[in-house]
Amino acid sequence: MFGFLHLAALYGGYIFIYSAKWQTDVFGYILYVLSGLGITAAAHRLWTHKSYKAKWPLRLILVIFNTLAFQDSVLNWASDHRMHYKYSKTDADSHNATRGFFFSHVGWLLARKHPDLKAKGKGLDLSDLYADPILRFQKKHYLLLMPLACFIIPTVVPVYLWSESYLNAFFVAAIFRYAFILNVTWLVNSAAH
């Protein structure tokens, strides 16, 4: 699946440079930035580390940005990353850097979870996350919200607002942008550890 995504993203990069309207390129870039905020400001800083407090309107906006990023629900993302920080570079670390660059970049998503990760994960306190009704709503409806936020809206907006072709809109604002933010996020796990 990731192989097909990256091949499609290469095509999207070609369209980004040679075929798409400039508005579509700018729109794709804006969505990339918002996706990044959905990971860094939301799932990582706010919900994994509890670095700051946010009132419900900001939490709602950040959950929308996180859903746009399509890196799983905040509840699952924060759970994985709390395990990573608590058990860094052990078998209970979801993307253990001692298992190599490829594993910590993307391999951890392709492999079965290590038994230590499963065992120690059962004792992880996520009560603060489950207490948030916005996060519970996102998790409950993720399979409906994610394709809408990550693929459908990013494709439809350029088509209807500035008459972009469906093909260009889909491959630039959805696929190319999505693959790019995935790899930027994964590089934190692989290159920075």
Domain that holds residue 165: 2-190
Q: How far is the C-alpha of 152 from the C-alpha of 171, rounded, in Å?
A: 11
Residues 6+ apart with CB under 8 A from 31: 68, 154, 173, 177
pLDDT by residue for the chain (193 residues), tens digit each?
A: 788 999 999 999 999 999 999 999 999 999 999 999 999 999 999 999 999 999 999 999 999 999 999 999 999 999 988 988 888 888 887 888 888 888 888 878 888 888 888 888 888 899 999 999 999 999 999 999 999 999 999 999 999 999 999 999 999 999 999 999 999 998 887 787 6
Q: Which DSSP string corresponds to 106-140?
A: IIHHHSPPPHHHHHHHTT---HHHHT-HHHHHHHH
Number of domains in the chain: 1
Q: How many CA atoms lie within 13 A of 139 on its CB side?
A: 15
What is the model's pLDDT at position 193? 65
Residue of 24, 51, 69, 77 whose CA lies nearest to 181: 69
What is the model's pLDDT at position 29? 98
